[in-house]
Chains A and B, each alone.
Chain A
Amino acid sequence: MRLPIICALVFSSCLLAGAAAVAQEQAVTVPAGELQPPATTIVKTNRDRVLVWRRNPSQVLTTLPAGVELEAIARDSQWYQVRVPEKYAGAGGAVGFVYKGHVEKLSGPEPPALPTVTDRTAMTKLPAPPPPAFRARGYASGAYQWFLANDSFKAILDKSSGFFYGGGGQAIFHNIFVDVGWEQFKKSGSRVAVVDGEVFPLGIKDTITMQPFRVTGGYRFRLSNGNTAYAGGGAGSMHFKEVSEFAEPGENTDERFGSWNLVGGTEVRAMKYVFFSVEFRYESVPNAVGAPGVAGEFGEKDLGGFGIGVKVLVGR
């Protein structure tokens, strides 16, 4: 019984002695008084006007020229936390953040990740407040429209399309919107004779004015890129006027017709209270024209059309 115990003790002593020997081999022999500090990471600015930022709140600490060497003491995603020398940050220097792409690492390891601050007392980021349930904005609009009665307009105005301009207002309640708008189109051409579809301008000035009034409602939805798309439909009226030179009483036209419309578009925020939208629309003004005018010769009755428009909206 004594022999195994004696062997175990001898074996253990040997192990301990070996470990001590290894430890001695690994230990760096540092001359007395010359302890090495931990490795630092040095980076250098690689362009002029490199901004160094303070956080919470975000503000520029200083602007560095190219070639400035900085000690990177931590990293946070695409940023280095660096010490800025007194020359650039004033007495005592400062600590700030510089974008990794604006510096190049000269030496040292990648600095440690910035510890997550779980208890920040400065400038706690509050969650974004929800949008107000109700918003309103006004707008100016312009649109280019192609007329459904294209042969008739081409006969009189020599063009089957035209530019409308106007404005209106929108009310938005959550994702539902209501748009009330008014536009105008006005252009002069010539009265004509039509024979078997062939048009002969007669040189008598004929001016057409169209003023659509639309009330449109629909739904808005957020796109992945942060913009807003919308679609809807509505109704309205079209004020149509046609005035000819040499016309006698009853020969000019000044009437209103019912209309309906469909619209779809996208809206982007340009500034805090300014938005731009581009939309496609279709409008129908049925049974508005016909005989005895040119529209009757071509069998066209609808004063509507389809078009593309732009709005500049101001509001919330």
Chain B
Amino acid sequence: MPAPRHTPRLATLGLVIGVTMVSLGSVPRAQVPSLNATLNAKQRLLAGEPLPVNMAALHGLAALRQRPAFAPGRVVMKLVDGTTDEVATMLARRAGAHGITRPPSADFVIVSLPLDADVVAAAAALAAEPGVVYAQPDPIAVLAYVPNDPLYQYQWNFHRLNMERAWDINHGATAALTVAVVDSGLAYLDQGAFRQAPDLVGATIVAPHDFIWDDETPTDLDGHGTHVAGTIGERTGNGSGAAGMAFNVALMPLKAVSGAWDDALGSPNVGTASIVAEAVRYAADHGASVINMSLGFESEVAPVRDAIVYAIDKGAVVVVAAGNSGGEGSPEFWPAAYASSIEGLIAVGAVDYNFNRAPYSNSNAYVEIAAPGGNLEVDADGDGYPDGVLQETLDPDLVDRGIFNQFAYIFFEGTSMATPHVSGLAALLMTQGVKSPKAVEAVIEHTATDVGATGRDNDTGFGVINPRAAIFGMGLAK
């Protein structure tokens, strides 16, 4: 088994540019293959064609990493019930837009503006119109992790959570319960340029959907989504790899966050609030009992908030990352900031090996619970590796070179990593018999191990999750 690796945040990209591309189907560095006009780049990858990029595109990846806060040329607008598309179009044109589109699985419309339009001003103008419930720019999702390397003896997070005693009671939930992972996709598919992550072989996949490429194959071109899904449902007890919290659940991969390669390959959509909102509604409509969102936005996202409420009303627990700006004053992060006012929405902060708030984890009034997110700056467990959360995912060094069929066990840190621990626990609780999202949140908070200041605090909320206590419940006396 390959040794776990530590991949420093963003350092990988500088190494990739100078490395000769591994042969996938042999694309010499200077050659730009002709593109099939009827297939997009992802479809061509699925068909087994070589990666259609050149050095210019690789250099462009660096620029794409410096992504704007809002998607250009887009405003998300919700109108009062009964407003016709004709009225919406008239309003949009008055704000200088070309027109509107109404995505499926959405209760809002997308107002299409010129790419160089001031979306903030346009949104403000539309919001002032009568009949408009809200209008806002469409923010681009930020993934809440800092990547790194993995293996089960190195999964201090599960040991510190006493997961083995919890698995004695509940052996990883069941495939009758579905956890939706709204993220960058999942390495679940053996097709063309893609391979299923070996430690996901045998996992139950239900209703996959790609909202970035508008198809049914949410392949991961980044690695974040696969890592997050691994904490929830990586196959366990299969004699290889690492473990997951609720390793028998069905996974619903929903790609709603675009990575650098999605941008480079020309995805029709970008991972914006409106896209994420669609994905959340889709998850609820397709039977997800838990929805994991290891992502967030740096501004309010009414479409996502409404979608979350919709999902909770349909019986799904929604778990979101609290944000990774704890070292920068903990600016509010959405939709986590809605958690205090929505029962069934759980905002998760990150702790390190010693159950102290991780340095990057936001400290806010909306943090409700904490879970291991890791701290790559220390090796508190003395295993020779930095204390990140270890799972299998795409080899990030090779992803940067456009290779999506090689895997490694990587330590990542972030509230992105903390969030799926809570999603996994929610899945275990729901299979135990706690069906209501509000009750799941209450049980998780009530049974948490209080750390830090006594009682609820901004660093860790009600404390660190205690999976065994949550699923063991109460007897008459104890």
Q: Does B116 contact A (CB under 8 A)?
A: no
Q: By the criterion CB–CB under 8 Å, are B474 and A193 in contact?
A: yes
Kindly specify which of A91-99, A218-226, A243-251, A265-273 makes contact with the partner chain.
Answer: A243-251
Q: Does A202 contact B (CB under 8 A)?
A: yes
> B432 is contacted by which of A155, A202, A248, A253 (Cβ under 8 Å)?
A202
Q: Does A80 contact B (CB under 8 A)?
A: no
> A204 is contacted by which of B165, B169, B478 (Cβ under 8 Å)?
B169
- Residue among A192, A202, A244, A246 with the highest chain B CB neighbour number at 10 A: A202
- How far apart sit A153 and B442, CA to CA, in the bound complex (Å)? 22
Instruction: Give the distance to chain A from B169, nearest Cβ to Cβ, in Å.
Output: 5
- How far apart sit A297 and B475, CA to CA, in the bound complex (Å)? 11
Identify the closest chain A residue to B168 (Cβ): A246
Q: By the criterion CB–CB under 8 Å, are A246 and B476 in contact?
A: no
> A242 is contacted by which of B442, B471, B472, B476 (Cβ under 8 Å)?
B476
Q: By the criterion CB–CB under 8 Å, are A191 and B477 in contact?
A: no
Instruction: Name the A residues within 8 Å of B436 (CB-CB).
Output: 195, 198
Instruction: Name the A residues within 8 Å of B429 (CB-CB).
Output: 193
Q: By the criterion CB–CB under 8 Å, are A203 and B439 in contact?
A: no
Q: Does B5 contact A (CB under 8 A)?
A: no
Q: Does A201 contact B (CB under 8 A)?
A: yes
Map CB proximity to B onto A193-217 as digits: 1 under 8 Å, 0 otherwise: 1111010111110101000000000
Map CB proximity to A onto B455-478 as digits: 1 under 8 Å, 0 otherwise: 000000000000000111111111
Residues B65-89 near A (CB distance < 8 A): none
Kindly specify which of A60-68, A103-111, A288-296 makes contact with the partner chain.
Answer: A288-296
- How far apart sit A203 and B433, CA to CA, in the bound complex (Å)? 8
Q: By the criterion CB–CB under 8 Å, are A206 and B475 in contact?
A: yes
Identify the closest chain B residue to A207 (Cβ): B475
Q: By the criterion CB–CB under 8 Å, are B443 and A246 in contact?
A: no
Q: By the criterion CB–CB under 8 Å, are A152 and B169 in contact?
A: no
- How far apart sit A196 and B473, CA to CA, in the bound complex (Å)? 15
Instruction: Name the B residues within 8 Å of A200 (CB-CB).
Output: 432-435, 439, 443, 473
Q: By the criterion CB–CB under 8 Å, are B439 and A240 in contact?
A: no
Q: Does A156 contact B (CB under 8 A)?
A: yes
Q: By the criterion CB–CB under 8 Å, are B475 and A156 in contact?
A: yes
Interface of B is mostly: helix
The size class of the interface chain A forms with chain B is 20 to 34
- How far apart sit A200 and B436, CA to CA, in the bound complex (Å)? 10
Q: A196-B442, A246-B168 are in contact. Are A202 and B476 (CB under 8 A)?
A: no
Q: Does B438 contact A (CB under 8 A)?
A: yes
Instruction: Name the A residues within 8 Å of B474 (CB-CB).
Output: 191-194, 292-294, 297
- Residue among A149, A191, A252, A293 with the highest chain B CB neighbour number at 10 A: A191
Instruction: Name the A residues within 8 Å of B478 (CB-CB).
Output: 242, 251-253, 292-293
Q: By the criterion CB–CB under 8 Å, are A203 and B432 in contact?
A: yes
Map CB proximity to A onto B424-441 as digits: 1 under 8 Å, 0 otherwise: 000001001111101100
Q: By the criterion CB–CB under 8 Å, are A201 and B477 in contact?
A: no
- How far apart sit A294 and B472, CA to CA, in the bound complex (Å)? 13
Q: By the criterion CB–CB under 8 Å, are A244 and B442 in contact?
A: no
- How far apart sit A208 and B165, CA to CA, in the bound complex (Å)? 23
> A198 is contacted by which of B169, B439, B446 (Cβ under 8 Å)?
B439
Instruction: Name the A residues within 8 Å of B169 (CB-CB).
Output: 204, 246
Identify the closest chain A residue to B447 (Cβ): A193
Instruction: Give the distance to chain B from A242, nearest Cβ to Cβ, in Å.
Output: 5
- How far apart sit A111 and B36, CA to CA, in the bound complex (Å)? 135
Map CB proximity to B onto A243-283 as digits: 1 under 8 Å, 0 otherwise: 01010100111000000000000000000000000000000
Instruction: Give the distance to chain B from A299, nearest Cβ to Cβ, in Å.
Output: 13
- How far apart sit A82 and B24, CA to CA, in the bound complex (Å)? 128
- How far apart sit A208 and B434, CA to CA, in the bound complex (Å)? 23
Identify the closest chain B residue to A300 (Cβ): B476
Instruction: Give the distance to chain A from B472, nearest Cβ to Cβ, in Å.
Output: 7
Instruction: Name the A residues within 8 Å of B165 (CB-CB).
Output: 248
- How far apart sit A253 and B471, CA to CA, in the bound complex (Å)? 19
- How far apart sit A30 and B61, CA to CA, in the bound complex (Å)? 157
Instruction: Name the B residues within 8 Å of A194 (CB-CB).
Output: 474
Identify the closest chain B residue to A246 (Cβ): B169
Q: By the criterion CB–CB under 8 Å, are B433 and A201 in contact?
A: yes
Instruction: Give the distance to chain B from A203, nearest Cβ to Cβ, in Å.
Output: 6
Identify the closest chain B residue to A245 (Cβ): B169
Q: By the criterion CB–CB under 8 Å, are A156 and B476 in contact?
A: yes
Instruction: Name the A residues within 8 Å of B434 (CB-CB).
Output: 193, 195, 200, 202
Instruction: Name the A residues within 8 Å of B470 (CB-CB).
Output: 193
Q: A201-B433, A202-B434, A203-B432 are in contact. Are A192 and B439 (CB under 8 A)?
A: no
> B476 is contacted by which of A195, A196, A203, A293 (Cβ under 8 Å)?
A293
Q: By the criterion CB–CB under 8 Å, are B439 and A242 in contact?
A: no
Identify the closest chain B residue to A251 (Cβ): B478
Instruction: Name the B residues within 8 Å of A149 (CB-CB).
Output: 476
> A244 is contacted by which of B168, B433, B475 (Cβ under 8 Å)?
B475
Q: By the criterion CB–CB under 8 Å, are A206 and B168 in contact?
A: no
Identify the closest chain B residue to A248 (Cβ): B165
Q: A198-B439, A246-B169, A248-B165 are in contact. Are A294 and B475 (CB under 8 A)?
A: yes
Instruction: Give the distance to chain A from B127, nearest Cβ to Cβ, in Å.
Output: 37
Map CB proximity to B onto A140-154 as digits: 1 under 8 Å, 0 otherwise: 000000000100110
Q: By the criterion CB–CB under 8 Å, are B476 and A153 in contact?
A: yes
Q: By the criterion CB–CB under 8 Å, are A152 and B439 in contact?
A: no
Instruction: Name the B residues within 8 Å of A206 (CB-CB).
Output: 475-476
20 new A-B contacts at CB < 8 Å, known A204-B472, A292-B474:
A153-B476, A155-B476, A191-B472, A193-B432, A193-B433, A193-B474, A195-B434, A196-B442, A200-B439, A202-B433, A202-B473, A203-B433, A240-B477, A246-B169, A248-B165, A253-B477, A294-B476, A295-B476, A295-B477, A297-B474
Q: Which residues of A contact B (CB under 8 A)?
A: 149, 152-153, 155-156, 191-196, 198, 200-204, 206, 208, 240, 242, 244, 246, 248, 251-253, 289, 292-295, 297
Provide a sorted-by-A list of 30 A–B residue pairs whose CB atoms are within 8 angstroms: A155-B476, A156-B475, A191-B474, A193-B429, A193-B439, A193-B474, A194-B474, A195-B436, A195-B438, A195-B439, A195-B442, A195-B446, A198-B439, A200-B433, A200-B434, A200-B435, A200-B473, A201-B433, A202-B433, A202-B471, A202-B472, A202-B473, A204-B169, A206-B475, A242-B476, A242-B478, A244-B475, A292-B474, A293-B475, A294-B474
Cβ-closest 4 pairs across A and B? A191-B473, A195-B439, A195-B442, A202-B473
